[in-house]
Chains A and B, each alone.
Chain A
Amino acid sequence: MVVGRPLTEHELVERARGGDGAAYATLVRDHEETAFRIAYVICGNAADAEEAAQEAFVKAYNALGRFRLGEPLRPWLLAIVANEARNRRRSAGRRAALALRAAGEGRPSGEAAPSPEAALLAGERRATLLAGLGRLSERDRTVIACRYLLDLSEAETAATLGVRAGTVKSRLSRALGRLREEVGEDV
């Protein structure tokens, strides 16, 4: 069949359910970056994150029959990824801090370029924040990463973490409080 437009997610899921591997690969490609990054935040290292994300996508394929067509796919996939990443982290028995590095300037567009001193300070601040984030417990850093670093909505974060939206709010506020403590700010 020739289709003159890209397939919608709904169509891709239906085809993947019918055993169309190429359709599923397209879905994986659409979500692999966020999936890998969530797994990275949870596992704390890239090798485990890659294995967890890969395993999760295979499991998700086998569970596609249980996915409710019409619902958004991303949170459903990310929940499987987060679960797999936690399992891997547990069985690895490692509790290493997460290493995150800041990239680029990160300043809002439209602002004048900062002076070298200001740039240095801003760079230090970013490094402090990311180091603090890395020292938080897995639960705290994952909720912060979902909402702010990966830009998931509150509903998506809730689905990914398998909790209610209200729980995301309270968990986030506690996690931010602990991050403030980590970076030496008054709460």
Chain B
Amino acid sequence: MSDLELELRELRVEWPETPELAGAVAGRLERAPAPPRPGLWLHRPAWQLAVAVVALVVAVVAIVPPARSAVLDLLGFGSVRIVREEPSRFGAALALGEPVTLEQARERFPVVVPEELGEPDAVYLTEQPWLRVDLVYREREGIPASSNTGVALLVTEFHAVAEPLVQKTVGQGANVERLTVGGDPAFFISGANHGFAYIPEGTTGAFEESRLAGNTLLVERSDGVLLRIEADIDREAAVRIAESVE
């Protein structure tokens, strides 16, 4: 252990006084029911029956449209919009992988989403040739859509580093600026249409063409994830987006 680590370990911090959380939490829970137990309903025939009835009603409603509104009203669903959780296929032309929901992507990869952009309009996941996640965004103020694909902004995340290769491989007419984003090394590639090379975890290197013909910000995050933001935006806007990732 280094001296600095020893010093940190010996530091005694004067923390703010810990509030009495147990009492406050107990007060809030007094009115709340017992926490739900997973799987409990499976042991209850009444629940199974209810589920079966709902399934039957849904089937009937699906087959007989005139019955729909009456049945939904009867069940108290009259004003409820039922949204199917199917992943969006927006930006499929980019051939980024399999469309998934953000939750599905997060089961496989520690996906980060820039606050500045909010929820992506589509999410793609691929394992070929290695695990990566792409967040796709539509046109928004200040970020025009690419005329080919209709996609305005692409955020790609995978475990890799860019630094050893970035300068050599960007190509003629493109500029590379070294930056720091949230303390992590970053590169802003602008100018001519370009690709870039990078080193995925456990391999020797790979090269990729740009997708939207926009500028690209690469951030080598300290957790090993290479964050790539590609759009027709300037350096400041790209950095602002990258900094809104935590």
Interface residues of A (CB under 8 A from B): 16-19, 21-22, 24-26, 28-29, 32-33, 35-37, 40, 46, 49-50, 53-54, 57-58, 61-66, 86, 89-90, 100-108, 125-126, 129-130, 136-140, 144, 148-149, 151, 162-163, 167, 170-171, 174-176, 178-180, 185
CA distance A144 to B246 in the complex (A): 16
Closest chain A CB from B15 CB (angstroms): 6
Q: Once the chains bind, are B223 and A149 in contact (CB under 8 Å)? A: no
Interchain CB contact (< 8 A) of A64 among B8, B35, B183: B35
- With contacts A64-B35, A148-B5 taken as known, whether A24 is within 8 angstroms of B110 at the C-beta atoms is no
Q: Which residues of A contact B14 (CB under 8 A)?
A: 100-103
Closest A-chain residue to B15, C-beta based? A37
Interface size class of chain B, counting residues whose CB lies under 8 Å from the partner chain: 35 or more
Q: Once the chains bind, are A171 and B4 in contact (CB under 8 Å)? A: no
Q: Once the chains bind, are A171 and B246 in contact (CB under 8 Å)? A: no
Closest B-chain residue to A64, C-beta based? B35
Interchain CB contact (< 8 A) of B25 among A28, A129, A137, A144: A28
Sample of 24 A–B contacts (CB below 8 Å): A17-B35, A17-B37, A26-B22, A28-B21, A28-B22, A29-B22, A32-B21, A33-B18, A36-B18, A37-B18, A40-B16, A46-B16, A50-B19, A50-B21, A58-B25, A64-B35, A65-B35, A65-B38, A86-B246, A89-B246, A126-B11, A163-B223, A176-B2, A176-B4
Interchain CB contact (< 8 A) of A104 among B12, B23, B24, B36: B12
CA distance A149 to B13 in the complex (A): 7
A-B contacts besides A58-B32, A129-B7, A179-B4, 7 pairs, CB < 8 Å: A25-B26, A29-B22, A53-B21, A54-B19, A62-B32, A148-B5, A151-B9
Q: Once the chains bind, are A101 and B4 in contact (CB under 8 Å)? A: no
Q: Once the chains bind, are B115 and A144 in contact (CB under 8 Å)? A: no
Q: Once the chains bind, are A102 and B11 in contact (CB under 8 Å)? A: yes
CA distance A54 to B179 in the complex (A): 38
Q: Which residues of A contact B25 (CB under 8 A)?
A: 24-25, 28, 54, 57-58, 61
Q: Is the interface of B mostly helix, strand, loop or mixed?
A: loop
B147 at the interface (CB under 8 A from A): no
- With contacts A24-B25, A170-B223 taken as known, whether A65 is within 8 angstroms of B11 at the C-beta atoms is no
Closest chain A CB from B30 CB (angstroms): 6
Q: Once the chains bind, are B8 and A180 in contact (CB under 8 Å)? A: no
Q: Once the chains bind, are B183 and A140 in contact (CB under 8 Å)? A: yes
CA distance A24 to B24 in the complex (A): 12
B204 at the interface (CB under 8 A from A): no
Q: Once the chains bind, are A175 and B222 in contact (CB under 8 Å)? A: yes
Q: Once the chains bind, are B246 and A138 in contact (CB under 8 Å)? A: yes
Q: Once the chains bind, are A170 and B222 in contact (CB under 8 Å)? A: yes
